[in-house]
Structure 1
Amino acid sequence: MKRMLAGLLLGSLSTVGGAQDAPKPACAAVDAGLPDDLVVWKDRASLAGSRLAVGRAMTVRLRPIAAVQYAAPPERPGAAGTYGATLTLDVARAGTYRVALSDRAWVDLVATGRTIASTAHGHGPACSSIRKIVSFPLRPGRHTLQLGGNAKDRIAVLVTPAQ
């Protein structure tokens, strides 16, 4: 009886361990199969100021979090030793917009001094360098995109209308 119980216990432990170690899919090429609305992700340019353009992927240089002045208090302030930035974005048409990031930075969007609640969160497509996508309902006008808590001093950003 003891042997049977020990066997059942060991068998169940190996099943649990196996479920946690599911293999990741092998990728022939990173960013090769991006959907049409994200294909511009592959053609990133370095941002030479603080203004993003909808539909254009940019690599942004971040500052130490202590040096960043936010337009509104971030929902999750970055820890000491992390990086962040504030960027502006002009939106021409009302709608849902997605912010794609290459890293796990916290992202807030601010308009007229108030933080806009996000409507969806997710990961980028499989086999892509997009790590995070957050959706926001935006109205026409100028917005401030706030980044914080990033481990690196650079991040790729793309803001695009949701499809």
Structure 2
Amino acid sequence: MIISRAVLAAGLVALSVNTARAEDAPACASFAWSVARERAAFGAPGLPALASGSALSGGVSAVQLALKPAAEIVLPVPSEKEAKPDTFAGFVTATVPAAGTYQVTLSNEAWIDVSQDGRSTLKPAAHSGKSGCPEVRKSVRFALDVGTVTIEITRASSPLIKLDLLRAE
């Protein structure tokens, strides 16, 4: 009797874990493109932490970015969206090694602006966002040239956000 209760309890735990995974899979799978790489990176232990204004190191694409209150930060390029009260903002720079389509993916809701000339923001080539995916909220694609890119995050509801810059598959 004790063994059968233990087996039943283990089965119920396994069922609840599988049910939870099945429930979050539809939201994560319904992005316009796969965000599996980002989900894995955002969930990995030891995700590098960066302060706003830092540069992504070569070979590092996923980071946890520390943002500042929007009222306290001056972005290098004016954002396309006006700051909202009680939100957070920040930016990072990165080097694009080859021209192509890249995606900036965030763990939480926020606005993304990207600039390569230091004066204006680029129009996105495509965007996808879904609530209900625990690791990823938004992914936006941009056509980028070789060189430095500035990624600005505004309208974030918390002072920490996970960000990934990857070449689109």
Instruction: Identify whether the pair has TM-score above 0.5, normalized to the shorter chain.
Output: yes
Q: Normalised by the size of structure 1, how large is the TM-score?
A: 0.73
Moved more, 52-61 or 28-37: 28-37
Q: Whole-Å Cα distance in 1 between the matches of residues 132 and 167 of structure 2?
A: 20
Q: Whole-Å Cα distance in 1 between the matches of residues 125 and 81 of structure 2?
A: 17
Shift of 1:89: 1.1
Report the counterpart of residue 123 of structure 1 in structure 2.
129
Q: Whole-Å Cα distance in 2 between the matches of residues 67 and 99 of structure 1?
A: 24
Identity %: 28
Q: Normalised by the size of structure 2, how large is the TM-score?
A: 0.71
SS of structure 1 residue aligned to 2:124: coil
SS of structure 1 residue aligned to 2:74: coil
Q: Which structure 2 segments of 5+ residues have no match? A: 1-18
Report the counterpart of residue 146 of structure 1 in structure 2.
152
Report Cα offsets for 1:111-132 as digits up to 9, x if no partner: 1122111011112697441000
Aligned residue-pair number:
138
Q: Which structure 1 segments of 5+ residues have no match? A: 1-25
SS of structure 1 residue aligned to 2:41: helix
Report the counterpart of residue 21 of structure 2 in structure 1.
28
Which has the greater radius of gyration? 1
Residues 63 and 103 from structure 1, CA distance in 2 versus in 1: closer, same or farther, beyond 3 angstroms? same
Report Cα offsets for 1:40-77 as digits up to 9, x if no partner: 33222212561124652111110010111112210112
Larger fraction in helix: 2
RMSD: 2.7
